[in-house]
With several copies, the nearest count.
Chain A
């Protein structure tokens, strides 16, 4: 054993350490930014070290693929809008799953080739043996061991599912696939596909490595990812993406075991476990169970016995709204997806600052699933420079609404819909909401009578103490600012 592989393994160790430390930092708001840099340094180290490995062929090809892949992803990641982040995560995650599946395929094919030759490869034919020594000192030059075969196949399966599933999630969030794809007996069909994929996987794992079986296995796995994701509504996509993220982690760990690469095992497993927990936390924040997200029928009941809403929407002028808030004691601002679409956060914060200067107590009330990803509103408000201490969680602010003079809802709909509490037929029934209806006055900024994500009516807009300020979020907030300034002039 030369010193070079040892050095490479040392780099891998440091990389694994940096990944863990980086993730640790990322899980606290104060240190989050540094975290990604730590993990990035680890990645760079691991990749450079791998380039330096002896006995690597196709170095030119490797470099080309790395450069192309990095350039394309970097470019696309830089230019997407902030609101499109979730689907980009889905896309990149799918790529990782695809890579794991492809590695599994290479290993299976190479295993079949080696098994066919009957005599085991000599060392130079399979020079990655240095990396394998540790985990299976004897099997290094022999074909894969049974455990490796099983984990390799399993990793390929999970990776392929994550690949096609993530691509569907991407397409849905990107708006390329508006309709949910549902048909009777769907679950049975999906189960059948999964079973068939598992059967083919078992064949591969037990050494029946024919070309048709391998091809069928991958096609079935990809198909399952597709079919499993198609019926899920876009509102649940962040949870699904998080789940596939954990899947990819697992797949990477399993393929890492096959390659005898400890950095992959550890990074993959850490992500697998972290992602599983994160998925549960996200589902919980939306008051859903994971099973309900994956197999539930979100929105299926919508339009059924929907509750009729009495009354009418009462409009208000910006000037009146501005005066109302200028002389209020407490104002709560409730942003939603519409604020993100209108990129109104800067104007909203300017308006809030003017109110604060006048002595009004202003707080931002954030629902955990406002917007299109967890923390969406926090990110936007942080971008605009709103200090943390003005931002209140749902649990903190809900008891305060009765003492609030004006609740200013801007571009939020589902998260303030009282029907989540009153109408069992509503698709959002049971979701905890921001209790704005309890405020003395409610002003709602939205463009018109558009519904929110769940596609349902909102009784709040028809309430006696609610006034509608129609218009684009940014424009409306700008007008409020102008009116407020005019007040003082």
Chain B
């Protein structure tokens, strides 16, 4: 339970941080932000690498391989799609002063 508390604090604070970041975001950014946060949980790739890196049995190795494959897809795909969506904001930044 001891360590549980520290984890609880981290969970709580991370939740507040995430919540506050999104609060008051304009509608126009909903989809890019969804995509961006989709990219961020691509960090699951790191966990998948660790899982595969410590797999002992063939079954664990196979599962770990799938995990890394999927995780890599999440991270790379999330990045490309978000980047493409946000690229759209480039051209219109010049004419308008602020949004």
Asked whether A262 lies within 8 Å of B10 as measured between CB atoms, the reply is: yes
Residues of B within 8 A of A27 (CB): 21-22, 25, 29, 33
Instruction: Categorize the interface residue count of chain A.
Output: 35 or more
Asked whether B1 lies within 8 Å of A95 as measured between CB atoms, the reply is: no
Asked whether B92 lies within 8 Å of A92 as measured between CB atoms, the reply is: no
- List the one stretch of A49-57, A179-187, A331-339, A480-488 in contact with chain B: A49-57
Asked whether B50 lies within 8 Å of A259 as measured between CB atoms, the reply is: yes
CB distance from A481 to the nearest CB of B (A): 20
With an 8 Å Cβ cutoff, the count of chain B residues facing the other chain is: 94
Known contacts A33-B90, A96-B42; is-contact A26 B29 (Cβ 8 Å): yes
CB distance from A18 to the nearest CB of B (A): 10
Asked whether B43 lies within 8 Å of A263 as measured between CB atoms, the reply is: yes
A379 to B89, CA, bound (A): 7
- Please, what's the 1-or-0 string for A57-75, where 1 marks a CB less than 8 Å from any CB in chain B? 1110110011111111110
- Please, what's the 1-or-0 string for A1-41, where 1 marks a CB less than 8 Å from any CB in chain B? 10000100110110111011011101111101101110110
Contact partner of B55 (CB less than 8 A), chosen from A58, A256, A269, is: A58
The verdict on A233 contacting chain B, using a C-beta distance below 8 Å, is no
Known contacts A23-B21, A134-B5, A272-B18; is-contact A376 B31 (Cβ 8 Å): yes
Asked whether A26 lies within 8 Å of B41 as measured between CB atoms, the reply is: no
Residues of A within 8 A of B51 (CB): 102-103, 106-107, 259
CB distance from A387 to the nearest CB of B (A): 3
A-B contact number at CB 8 A: 426
Task: Tell me what chain A mostly uses at the interface: helix, strand, loop, or mixed.
Answer: helix
Asked whether A22 lies within 8 Å of B40 as measured between CB atoms, the reply is: yes
Output the nearest chain B residue to A254 by Cβ-Cβ distance.
B11
Known contacts A29-B28, A85-B85; is-contact A267 B41 (Cβ 8 Å): yes
Asked whether A273 lies within 8 Å of B14 as measured between CB atoms, the reply is: yes
Asked whether A385 lies within 8 Å of B91 as measured between CB atoms, the reply is: yes
- Closest 8 CB pairs between A and B? A69-B72, A388-B96, A77-B80, A387-B95, A273-B18, A73-B77, A56-B53, A269-B14
B residues lining the A interface (CB < 8 Å): 1-19, 21-23, 25-57, 59-61, 63-93, 95-99
Q: Mind listing 25 A-B residue pairs with CB under 8 Å?
A: A17-B12, A20-B16, A23-B21, A28-B99, A43-B40, A56-B49, A65-B65, A65-B69, A74-B77, A77-B80, A92-B77, A98-B67, A99-B70, A102-B63, A107-B51, A109-B57, A128-B54, A137-B3, A245-B38, A252-B47, A274-B18, A281-B30, A375-B27, A385-B92, A389-B95
